[in-house]
Chain A
Amino acid sequence: MEPKTKQFNQGAALAIRDEKAQKSLLGLYHGFHAARLRAADATPNWEELRDHARAIKAHTVEHLDYYLAQVEANVAKAGGKVFFAADAAEANKYVVDLAKARGVKVVIKSKSMVSEEMGLNHQFEAAGIEPVETDLGEYVIQLAEETPYHIVAPAIHKSRQDVSELFHRKLGSAPTDKITDLGREARRQLRQKFIQADMGITGANFVVAETGTVVIVTNEGNGRMCTSMPRIHVAITGMEKLVPSMKDLGTFLRLLIRSATGQRITSYVTAVTGPRRSNDEDGPEEFHLVIVDNGRSRLLANPELRESLYCIRCGACLNACPVYRKVGGHAYGWVYPGPIGAIVSPVLTGLGDAKDLPYASSLCGACREACPVRINIPRMLLVLRRELTEGTAYPGQRRVALAERMAMRGYRMAFQGRMFLGLATATGRVVQRPLVRKGRIRRMPPPLSGWTRYRTFPALPKHSFRSRWKRGL
Chain B
Amino acid sequence: MASPSDSPVRASLFATCIIDQLYPEVGESAVRVLRRLGAELDFPEAQTCCGQPAFNSGFWSEAKPLARRFLETFSGGNRYIVIPSGSCASMVRVFYQELFHDELALLGKAQALAPRVYEFSEFVVDVLGATERVAQAAKAPGRSKATYHEACHLRRELGAKTQARKLLKALPGVELVEMEQSEVCCGFGGTFAVKYADISGAMLQDKVKYIKATGADTVVACDSSCLMHIGGGLDKQGVNVRPLHLAQVLDQAMG
Contacts and interface: CB of A to CB of B under 8 A. Distances in A.
A409 interface: yes
A365 B152 contact: yes
A299 interface: no
Interface stretch (B43-51, B115-123, B126-134): B43-51
B233 A455 contact: yes
Interface string A188-204: 00000000000000000
Contacts of A465: 15, 19-21, 23-24, 27-28
A6 B155 CA distance: 33
A368 B156 contact: yes
Contact of B185 (A12, A366, A386, A458): A366
B235 A455 contact: yes
B28 to A, nearest CB: 6
Contacts of A326: 199, 202-203
Interface stretch (B4-12, B139-147, B188-196): B188-196
A323 B203 contact: yes
B173 interface: no
Given A458-B22, A468-B28, A386 B199 contact: no
B75 interface: no
Nearest to A360: B196
B215 interface: no
Given A360-B192, A466-B45, A454 B62 contact: no
B43 A418 contact: no
B136 interface: no
B2 to A, nearest CB: 21
Given A360-B199, A362-B203, A465-B20, A411 B53 contact: yes
A364 B15 CA distance: 22
Contact of A447 (B53, B194, B199): B194
A310 to B, nearest CB: 19
Given A363-B152, A409-B62, A454-B233, A464 B24 contact: yes
Contacts of B46: 418
B202 A16 contact: yes
Contact of A468 (B24, B185, B196): B24
A418 B48 contact: yes
Which range holds the interface residue count of chain A? 35 or more
A451 B56 contact: no
A303 to B, nearest CB: 11
Contacts of B204: 454-455
B163 interface: no
A271 to B, nearest CB: 36
Contacts, number: 191
Interface string B179-215: 0010111011111111111111111110000000000
A450 interface: yes
Given A362-B200, A364-B185, A464 B21 contact: yes
A455 B227 CA distance: 11
B92 to A, nearest CB: 14
A327 interface: yes
B62 A411 contact: yes
A408 B198 contact: no
Given A363-B189, A369-B156, A464-B21, A12 B198 contact: yes
A400 B58 contact: yes
A394 interface: no
B17 interface: yes
A13 interface: yes
A421 B181 CA distance: 38
Contacts of A66: none
B125 interface: no
Interface in A416-473: 416, 418, 421, 425, 440, 442, 447-448, 450-458, 460-461, 463-466, 468-469, 473
19 contacts: A16-B202, A323-B203, A362-B152, A364-B189, A365-B153, A366-B185, A382-B56, A386-B58, A386-B60, A404-B57, A408-B57, A412-B51, A415-B51, A416-B69, A453-B198, A456-B236, A458-B23, A465-B23, A468-B27
Given A408-B62, A458-B231, 4 more contacts: A322-B203, A369-B156, A388-B58, A450-B197
Interface of A: 9, 12-13, 16, 29, 322-323, 326-327, 359-366, 368-369, 379, 382, 384-390, 400, 404-405, 408-409, 411-412, 415-416, 418, 421, 425, 440, 442, 447-448, 450-458, 460-461, 463-466, 468-469, 473
Listed from nearest, the 6 A-B pairs whose CB atoms lie closest are A362-B189, A455-B232, A450-B197, A385-B58, A454-B201, A365-B156
